[in-house]
Amino acid sequence: MDAAELTALLTPEGLRLLDALPPIESADDVARVVTRLRKDGHSPDLVSAVVGQARLRVKARAKFGEFAQRMLFTRAGLEQATRLPVAARHAARFRDAGMTDVADLGCGIGGDALGLAGLGLRLRAVDADETTAAIAAYNLAPFADAVSVTHGTAETSDLSGIDAVWLDPARRTSGHTETTRTRPEDWSPSLDWVFALAARVPAGVKLGPGLDRDLIPDDVEAQWVSADGSTIELVLWSRPLARPGVRRAALVVRGDAAHELTSATDAADEPVRELGAYLHEPDGAVIRARLIGDVARALQAGMLDERIAYLTSDAALTSPFVASFRVREVLPADPKALSRALRERGIGRLEIKKRGVDIDPARLRTQLKLRGDASATLFVTRIGSKRTAILADRV
């Protein structure tokens, strides 16, 4: 969204028009609505703005639920925003630590700020992009008595009277649509500046889950977060916001449920063992936090291969930190032989998972020429130096 579109949108006419539009689910919906609005005499800027927002509101349901229908977005801002249930959990940590006044430095469209404000915290939010700051101000308007939003930089923000900070450094090139990732030294604010502030002030720092672990300070709690199967972020907590004795944590959120695994250090892996009756796929947050060993011990499981994050066991156990599968059999890994074996078993619906092997699951699916009414999960992986195909069923 550019400045002209935002100006057209943030008017009584623009907001009424946006709220009157039906959900725009497809490209056909876009074309139909644009044609109608242009025929009704609305300006190109206004039409572009309201149709774009209606489309983004549909996409935003996955992160913001029913709240998406009263929010504004940029495409890049929505992509980078924290899901509201996760933001609420982060906010609870500030509240439970006794923090009352929080600065959100790099608030984006206001996803995390909504979580903080929703729990009754007083908030100063700032963003370096003027359009994004304006959208955040709109999204946070229901909390205007306790929240201020300004256009500015984290580095120049006034932190007097602030108990703690939430930082989400800009890790991509600037823009409201397509952006690309940048290096830590090019983030805004820089990672060094962020860590220096977090050493002085209680802080939560939202980063990408793939951050080089060597960059993580020794005196913070590192919490990897997954939501509905996707590892979405790493949060570093400093000073009183870091829990005593916790340096590694994996928070797994699925729907309304959340489970967490914590440790004072990386967990030692369990030894490799032969394929058993069950195969377990650890959640991505568990893998990033290097807590696979703790999960393995709880499942009476071992590693399938020391370099690959699959566990195997004979015990009929599972946990929220893994997806568990009952092993049917080991099949030939060669695509032609594998195709023949799957057709013999009448398997026409196949979930394909792979680790440690260089294959394209989509291309393999085409090669397999599946036929039949049965369904299964196929793991293609490496055990030692051997490529292995394992047929299994979800537990």
Average pLDDT score over the chain:
93
Q: Which of 123, 98, 101 has the alpha carbon at shortest distance from 113?
A: 123
Look at residue 353 and tell me whether its pLDDT is greater than 90.
Answer: yes
Measured in whole angstroms, how far is the alpha carbon of residue 38 from the centre of its chain? Answer: 37
DSSP codes of every residue in 16-62: HHHHHSPP--SHHHHHHHHHHHHHTT--HHHHHHHHHHHHHHHHHHH
Q: Do both 117 and 203 map to the same domain? A: yes
pTM greater than the 0.85 cutoff: yes
Residues 65, 155, single domain; the answer is no
Residue 274 within any structural domain of the chain:
no
Out of 187, 207, 227, pick the residue that ends a domain.
Answer: 207
Residue 177 has a pLDDT of 60
Does 131 share its domain with 32?
Answer: no
CATH code assigned at 200: 3.40.50.150
Are residues 183 and 199 both part of a single domain?
A: yes
- pLDDT category at 92 given cuts 50, 70, 90 is very high
Can you tell me whether residue 247 is helix, strand or coil? coil
Angle between helices 130-139 and 111-118 (to 10 degrees): 30
The answer to whether residues 61 and 96 belong to one domain is no
Measuring CA to CA, how many Å separate 95 from each of 89, 171, 203, 256?
Answer: 10, 27, 13, 20
Which residue range is the domain that position 18 belongs to? 3-73
Mind giving me the DSSP string for 86-149? HHHHHHHHHHHTT--EEEEET-TTSHHHHHHHHTT-EEEEEESSHHHHHHHHHHTGGGTTTEEE
Residue 185 has pLDDT above 80, yes or no: no
12 prior amide bond cis, ω within 30: no
Q: How many CB atoms lie within 10 A of CB 307?
A: 10
**56 and 86 share a domain?**
no
Return the minimum-mean-pLDDT range out of 40-49, 199-208, 338-347: 40-49
Say which range, 111-115, 184-188, 300-304, 359-363, has the weakest mean pLDDT. 184-188
At 189-224, the pLDDT tens digits run 999 999 999 999 999 999 999 999 999 999 999 999
Number of domains in the chain: 2
Pair (57, 177) in one structural domain: no
Phi and psi (nearest 5°) for 371?
A: -145, 140
- Do 118 and 146 contact (CB within 8 A), yes or no? no
Enter the tokens of residue 158. 């006034």
- Asked if residue 83 and residue 39 are part of one domain, the reply reads no
Q: Is the pLDDT of residue 320 over 90?
A: yes
Final residue belonging to a domain, choices 53, 73, 93: 73
